[in-house]
Amino acid sequence: MKPNQDLCRRFAEAMAERQLPQSSRAIILAVSGGADSLGLVALIQSWRHALATSHHHNTIPMVKAIIVDHGLRAEAAAEAKYVENMLASAGITAKRLAIAEKPPRHGVSEWARQHRYQYLAAEAMKHDAVLMTAHHLDDQLETVEMRLAKGSGLRGLAAMKTETGYLGVRLIRPCLGFTKSELA
């Protein structure tokens, strides 16, 4: 399903603010298979199509989706394969990466996040690419609420930035101005 024109326009503006495609010839997408990340995939596809038809851009960025299997559930590998096949049928190159290491007994969420981002950053470095996630406005609000509940100071309440560096990779969150329902 193609995103509506308003969402596509807003996404194109977010990409232009990040100086894309001029600043990078490759994009690595973090894709979980959830509505948010699949919404990001649809927006990227629409944006790339608009670039191709505008004739204003000589280079359309290469896009590669990365699906990380944390190995936390028995069915995770099959789900990752399903998402990979779905993306391939939509013309998106996708790669599944499995975390071989056993998860710890405590702090599994933090362990999974750290490993996921290490794998994603390594893949982005391989392709001299920017890394994109589908973090959205609802995620941003949740982050602020969690930090507020933990007694964070003003700096912590700033939440996620649209662009930051992570392990030497340019990490972009172009959907922070979208709600989860808009991405879905």
**Furthest-apart CA atoms within the chain: distance in Å:** 53
133 near 179, Cβ under 8 Å? Answer: no
Tens-place pLDDT, residues 19-37: 998 889 999 999 999 999 9
Tens-place pLDDT, residues 62-96: 999 999 999 899 899 999 999 999 999 988 999 99
99 near 71, Cβ under 8 Å? Answer: yes
The predicted model gives 114-136 an average pLDDT of 95
Distance CA 166, CA 172 (A): 10
Q: What are phi and psi of 23, to 5 degrees?
A: -90, -5
Is residue 146 scored above 80 in pLDDT?
A: no
The predicted model gives 95-121 an average pLDDT of 92
SS3 60: coil
Residue 101 CB burial class (10 angstroms; 0-12, 13-18, ≥19): exposed
Tens-place pLDDT, residues 47-66: 999 998 886 667 789 999 99
